[in-house]
């Protein structure tokens, strides 16, 4: 019998960490090759991780909500394959990495990435940790820090109320954790670390901040009890008491929100944005939507205005192919795309994502409807894969669903244009020489002025509007 370890893979090329959202197994459960054991969230999407071997779960090394570096062991499984790997000590599986770090001479030579069922695998040299101190707190089999024995052996184990870092030594912590501590006014040297290798975690900093907010008149005898409560109770449960009268709440920026922020800042300050607007009568398009809904040949398909707007964009791209391009800064070239991967901005509980429909230009109306429905459903469920968000060429964002008339959208990085669709409202409109109530909306097109000049951008937007005003052009211009 051996203990096999499963490391956090790179589920999206180039990613360095992921947050464990949910465990689907517990110690003692039997798992089979290919069974999903947990769901993780990267900076791009939520992904389910299958385990690549059979066995019985020995230990879960990280709790839900923990951010784990790529290459770290997240679960150990007891298997019956004696020749699969060298046996691992079962009593302190989480400490194995620290023990290896303490003996550099025994570190294995970097090997090729191990095979996994999701992502790009992990490299043995991908994550190097600093040696754990001899006084580090031992870990339990479930991966959580076990309480250290107090000198006086009290009735219940408590965490020592002394700094874990030796005097004069710089505390171990990641840059985001250091920034958090600085923002909260917490001295890292005074924080008791609970992370692997004596690393101070974000939760440790929040716990220290909560303790600092507590009344100063707490008796000295009550301090160990408070420390014990912090060790046994998740930080999230203790937060409401401290935040009851708080005037501000700080939310860590991570996952999808983090990568979206970085992408938007990079795009806004890299590509020179120009935004043009057009207000148009879409009454005929709305009538066509209703007719298509009643068409028995399209029964079961989701027919809505966004579907015809997407089709209008594809027709306009065919008439103005130069808008479907990207700017290669390194090569100083404009890359013309002869395919359309149509991005649809989607608001999800985890933040804004932009999955795209691959080769949308080659799809029929029915196929495009199916792709749109699948894309939106997958995004709302948080199951969009990194591959679904890569290589987009142009994007549509429908702000009209929120009752907004229009906006000035920011380009998705690597793309040259993005179309914002406003709310469709019944408004007075001059139609055939008379003022009548008509279905009216406003479109806003933002484009990269390095490769799309005003004339091309204006023609493209005008063509989209022309198709939506007279949807028969979906046929005559195709």
Neighbour count for residue 197 (Cβ, 10 Å): 17
Q: Pick the catalytic residue: 58, 273, 449, 470?
A: 449
CA–CA distance, 251 with 177 (Å, rounded to integer):
13
CA nearest neighbour of 404 among 419, 376, 424: 424
Give yes or no for a contact between 11 and 118, defined as CB atoms under 8 angstroms apart: yes
Residue that is written with structure tokens 């968000």 in the block: 389
For 13-102, strand residue ranges (E) read: 17-23, 30-31, 36-41, 46-50, 55-60, 67-69, 73-79
Which residues face 397 on adjacent strands?
A: 420
Is 150 in a helix, a strand, or coil? coil
CA atoms within 13 A on the CB side of 202: 16
Which residues face 132 on adjacent strands?
A: none
Is 449 in a helix, a strand, or coil? coil
- Spell 215-230 as b/e; 16+ CB within 10 A means b: eeeeeeeeebeebbeb
Stretch (H or E) spanning 179: helix 175-184
CA–CA distance, 211 with 209 (Å, rounded to integer):
5
Alpha carbon distances (Å) from 57 to 52, 63, 194, 242: 13, 15, 23, 37
CA–CA distance, 54 with 80 (Å, rounded to integer):
9
CA–CA distance, 58 with 79 (Å, rounded to integer):
9
| 449 catalytic per annotation | yes
Alpha carbon distances (Å) from 29 to 23, 77, 116, 135, 338: 12, 10, 20, 33, 50
CA nearest neighbour of 258 among 429, 444, 18: 18
User: Residue 290 contacts by C-beta under 8 Å, 6 or more apart in sequence?
Assistant: none
- Spell 455-467 as b/e; 16+ CB within 10 A means b: ebbbebbbbbbbb
For 220-259, strand residue ranges (E) read: none
Give yes or no for a contact between 214 and 153, defined as CB atoms under 8 angstroms apart: no
CA nearest neighbour of 200 among 128, 257, 141, 145: 145
**119: exposed, middle or buried (C-beta count within 10 Å: 0-12, 13-18, 19+)?**
buried
**Residues annotated catalytic, as ranges:** 449
């Amino acid at each position: 019998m051996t203990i096999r370890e499963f490391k956090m893979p790179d589920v999206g090329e180039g990613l360095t960490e992921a947050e464990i959202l949910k465990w689907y197994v517990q110690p003692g459960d039997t798992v089979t090759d290919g069974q999903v054991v947990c769901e993780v969230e990267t900076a791009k999407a939520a992904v389910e991780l299958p385990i690549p071997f059979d066995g019985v779960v020995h230990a879960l090394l990280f709790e839900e909500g923990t951010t784990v570096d790529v290459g770290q062991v997240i679960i150990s499984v007891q298997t019956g394959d004696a020749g699969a790997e060298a046996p691992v000590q079962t009593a302190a599986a989480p400490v194995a990495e620290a023990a290896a770090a303490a003996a550099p001479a025994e570190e294995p030579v970097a090997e090729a990435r191990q095979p996994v069922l999701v992502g790009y695998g992990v490299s043995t040299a991908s994550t190097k940790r600093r040696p754990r101190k001899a006084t580090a707190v031992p870990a339990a089999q479930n991966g959580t820090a076990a309480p250290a024995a107090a000198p006086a052996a009290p009735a219940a184990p408590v965490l020592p109320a002394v700094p874990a870092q030796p005097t004069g030594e710089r505390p171990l912590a990641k840059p985001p954790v250091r920034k958090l501590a600085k923002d909260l006014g917490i001295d890292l040297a005074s924080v008791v670390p609970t992370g692997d290798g004596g690393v101070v975690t974000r939760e440790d900093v929040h716990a220290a901040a909560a303790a600092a907010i507590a009344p100063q008149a707490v008796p000295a005898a009550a301090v160990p009890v408070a420390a014990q409560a912090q060790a046994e109770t998740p930080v999230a449960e203790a937060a409401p008491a401290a935040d009851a009268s708080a005037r501000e709440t700080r939310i860590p920026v991570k996952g999808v929100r983090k990568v979206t922020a970085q992408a938007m800042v990079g795009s806004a300050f890299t590509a020179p944005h120009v935004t043009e607007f057009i207000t148009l009568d879409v009454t005929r398009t709305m009538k066509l939507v209703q007719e298509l809904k009643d068409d028995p040949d399209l029964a079961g398909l989701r027919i809505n205005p966004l579907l015809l707007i997407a089709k209008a964009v594809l027709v306009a791209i065919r008439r103005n192919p130069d808008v479907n391009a990207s700017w290669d800064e390194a090569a100083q070239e404009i890359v013309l795309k002869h395919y359309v991967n149509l991005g649809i901005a989607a608001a999800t509980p985890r933040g804004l994502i932009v999955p795209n429909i691959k080769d949308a230009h080659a799809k029929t109306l029915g196929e495009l409807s199916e792709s749109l429905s699948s894309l939106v459903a997958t995004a709302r469920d948080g199951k969009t894969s990194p591959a679904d968000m890569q290589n987009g060429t142009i994007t549509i964002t429908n702000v009209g669903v929120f009752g907004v008339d229009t906006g000035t959208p920011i380009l998705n990085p690597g793309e040259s244009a993005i179309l914002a669709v406003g709310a469709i409202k019944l408004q007075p409109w001059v139609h055939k020489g008379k003022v009548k109530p008509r279905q009216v909306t406003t479109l806003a097109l933002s484009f990269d002025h390095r490769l799309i000049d005003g004339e091309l951008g204006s023609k493209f937007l005008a063509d989209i509007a022309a198709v939506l005003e007279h949807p028969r052009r979906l046929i005559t211009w195709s």
